[in-house]
Amino acid sequence: MSISQCLLIKNGRVIDPSQNLDAITDILVRDGKIVAIGKAIPVRPDEPLESLDVSGLVVTPGWIDIHTHLREPGGTHKETIETGTRSAAAGGFTSIACMANTQPVNDSSYITTYIRQKVSSDSPVNVFPIGAVTKGLKGEELAEIGSMREAGIVAISDDGKTVMNAYLFRKALDYSRRFDLVVISHAEDLNLKGRGVMNEGFNSARFGLRGIPKAAEEVIVARDIYLAELTGARLHIAHASTAGSVALIREAKRRGIQVTAEVTPHHLTLTDEAVGPYDTNTKVAPPLREKEDIEALQEAVADGTIDALASDHAPHAREEKEVEYDHAEFGMVGLETAFPLYYSKVLKNHWDLSQLVSAMTWKPAQIIGVKKGTLQVGADADISIFDPKHEWTIDRQAFLSKSQNSPFHGWSMTGKPAFTIVAGKVIYRSAHLKGKS
């Protein structure tokens, strides 16, 4: 008989919205599962027990990022499964879902299986692959949705590109029901977007850059909501960025259509004003918008219109970003800055802490249909612990990600991931805790 491994996490403020819990208490983990929550949990004297005193820290179910780009296979000069998942662990995430826009694209069970095998040897966190909607993300022919589902995908998406053919998208929604998969929409009408590189408006005119109108996003959000209604399928809107999208999603929910949505840290904290110094790290799809959009997005998280807080971690190499704004790739890294930005820059004035935790734990778990995001007894012991008081400055040179394309370098933060625990094992411990506990 093997000896059980136990971990006792003591004296933390435990917040678990899945069971309406907010209390200073202890958690006992045995063999990768939560076995008890409460004070003075009895432990067996014969069992080896590791004890972690987390006084002053906040303990939550493990954070889940449903929107990460890991780049492997094919883009390993930007990120590998190993570097991306270490970056996730350092950002406090215990689970991530990775998008299909790798090379080759994850549009078949072979690629899904390849990713899962790589993950089992290289990743400290759980990785849930997302399959493509169309072969090669070309928008012409459906990918092998059924066999990818058997191989382990949790959702389908052509993220990075929009499926412009509404007939094909409808078919994908129809199929997704059969396989109980959510369809994630990257909502940007490619014709309206054209060769635009930033939000269309006063600032694009000022900076002399081609604009992308908000309508490019909103027409696809509206289309996909109608198609979700038509098919009865589950639709998820990735990186909602405009007040107009929020209004459409709110109305669709009111009408009982199965739609969920996510927002990113950058769309909640930066406006298109940030493009001013032509820092290509601000170039992202969809683009940074305006103050009124940020306000609508903040409110939408507070009232539940937006369900999940994602990262849209999109690593790109230096040579792909250190070029003219027009030629730079779209995207920014986000795993190591997502939670700190949400916690330091948005939370105080707009949400309560349990809303933030819900949107990073059980709500994203429900969207992709995985049994995660809770600290209930019997659940996997995936736990994120953060230090709410630690003050620090974002330094992109210190990222564990292979890429450094962040516009947040030099920003001051209060609050930092402290411990990341997956299946009862501490896989990340922040250096700032040295000398403590």
Which of 52, 105, 228, 314 binds ligand DOR (CB under 6 A)? It is: 314
Which of 331, 373, 417, 424 binds ligand DOR (CB under 6 A)? It is: 331
* Per-residue CA distances from 427 to 124, 176, 312, 383 (Å): 7, 34, 22, 10
Nearer Cβ to ligand DOR, position 23 or 323?
Answer: 323
Report d(CA 333, CA 68) in Å as an integer: 9
Residue ranges in 218-277 that form contacts with ligand DOR under rule CB under 6 A: none
**Least gap, CB of 159 to ligand DOR (angstroms):** 5
Say which residues have a Cβ less than 8 Å from residue 85's Cβ, sequence separation at least 6. 70, 96, 119, 122, 123, 124, 125, 127
Residue ranges in 338-397 that form contacts with ligand DOR under rule CB under 6 A: none
Which of 26, 72, 82, 159 binds ligand DOR (CB under 6 A)? It is: 159
Tell me the per-residue interface mask from 58 to 77 with ligand DOR, x by CB under 6 A, - otherwise.
-----------x--------
Residue 190 DSSP label = H
285 binds ligand DOR (CB under 6 A): yes
Nearer Cβ to ligand DOR, position 62 or 160?
Answer: 160
Is residue 257 a contact partner of residue 225, using CB atoms and an 8 Å limit?
Answer: yes
**Least gap, CB of 180 to ligand DOR (angstroms):** 25
- Pick from 297, 331, 329: which is nearest to 311 by CA? 331
Backbone φ and ψ for 197, nearest 5 degrees, come out as -125, -10
- Pick from 308, 207, 274: which is nearest to 409 by CA? 274
Tell me the per-residue interface mask from 98 to 137 with ligand DOR, x by CB under 6 A, - otherwise.
---x------------------------------------
Which of 92, 160, 265, 334 binds ligand DOR (CB under 6 A)? It is: 160
**Least gap, CB of 199 to ligand DOR (angstroms):** 13
Provide the edge-to-edge strand list for the sheet that holds 259-263: 63-68, 93-98, 126-131, 155-157, 182-185, 235-237, 259-263, 308-309
Which of 10, 186, 223, 321 binds ligand DOR (CB under 6 A)? It is: 186
**Least gap, CB of 240 to ligand DOR (angstroms):** 12
**Least gap, CB of 219 to ligand DOR (angstroms):** 17
CB closest to ligand DOR, residue no: 331
Q: Which two tokens stand for residue 267?
A: 């769309």
Half-sphere exposure for 92 (CA within 13 Å, toward CB): 28
Among residues 312, 380, 382, 387, which one is catalytic?
Answer: 312
**Least gap, CB of 69 to ligand DOR (angstroms):** 5
Nearer Cβ to ligand DOR, position 101 or 401?
Answer: 101
Is residue 312 among the annotated active site residues? yes
Count, residues near ligand DOR per rule CB under 6 A: 10
Report d(CA 313, CA 435) in Å as an integer: 31
Say which residues have a Cβ less than 8 Å from residue 275's Cβ, sequence separation at least 6. 198, 203, 207, 209, 282, 283, 288, 325
Judged by phi (left if over 0) then psi (alpha if -120 to 50, else beta), residue 31 lies in left
Site residues (vs ligand DOR, CB under 6 A): 69, 101, 159-160, 186, 284-285, 314, 330-331
Which residues are annotated as catalytic? 312
